[in-house]
Amino acid sequence: MNSECLRCGAERETLIHAIKDCPKARETLVCGGLDDRLDFITLIWNSWNNKNNFMFQGKEESAITSWNKARALSNDFRIYNLREKPMFPSQPSIRGWKKPTRGFVKINVDAAFVEERMGLGVIVRDEDGFVLGGYGSTKDSVVNSDWAKIMAIEEGVILAKKMNLKKVHFESDNANIVNKINRKRRDITFIG
């Protein structure tokens, strides 16, 4: 099987390359601002279809045509949701930073990947949101997202010890790790 991108000639075509990194796909992504998640989904969908049309039919639309089709599809979904029971019911979500309990500090941890590199981030804030400290690093490493988040939590614990913090709330966006830690089992050997 040939893994070369036929659109741009890149040596290896991955899914991320096909929808984001290929110059043809990137051109579509930068045509205009995205209003919301639905716009992004329809834009990626149209970019993927454009790639497939090129691969199988030898036809490729301009970036602006793909962009306009994505916007039209997004608008069609919105109109449908106004007339009918919504296909995607809106679910209210509370976003943003929440203050820790009085007398505690909150340590937010996160990790991100770019190719063969991983970035870890930790930020410490008091009950008023004032930043008390932080930590960031990059590592040449290939691990799964759970392990990366665990490494970020570990860096948060190290920072809390260095800062001599006694009452700390940790926050992570990795539900799998949070649920395992919240079970409060004595044996949490999954951390290693």
Tens-place pLDDT, residues 111-147: 887 777 888 899 999 988 888 999 888 888 767 777 8
- Residue spans of the domains in the chain: they are 15-83, 105-191
> What is the value of pTM for the model shown?
0.47
| Architecture field, domain 105-191 | 2-Layer Sandwich (3.30)
Q: Higher pLDDT residue, 55 or 116? A: 55
Listed residue (36, 94, 105) closest to 70, CA to CA: 36
175 — pLDDT class (breaks 50, 70, 90): confident
Q: What is the pLDDT of residue 159?
A: 92
Q: What is the pLDDT of residue 47?
A: 85
54-62 contacts, C-beta under 8 A, 24 or more apart? 54/6, 54/7, 54/24, 55/6, 60/7, 60/24
What does the mean pLDDT of the chain come to? 80
Q: What is the pLDDT of residue 37?
A: 63
Q: Does the pLDDT at position 100 exceed 50? A: yes
Biggest distance spanned by C-alpha atoms of the chain: 64
Q: Does the pLDDT at position 189 exceed 50? A: no
CB 34 within 8 Å of CB 70: no
For the ranges 33-47, 69-83, 161-175, the one whose mean pLDDT is highest: 161-175
- Mean pLDDT over 142-166 rounds to 86
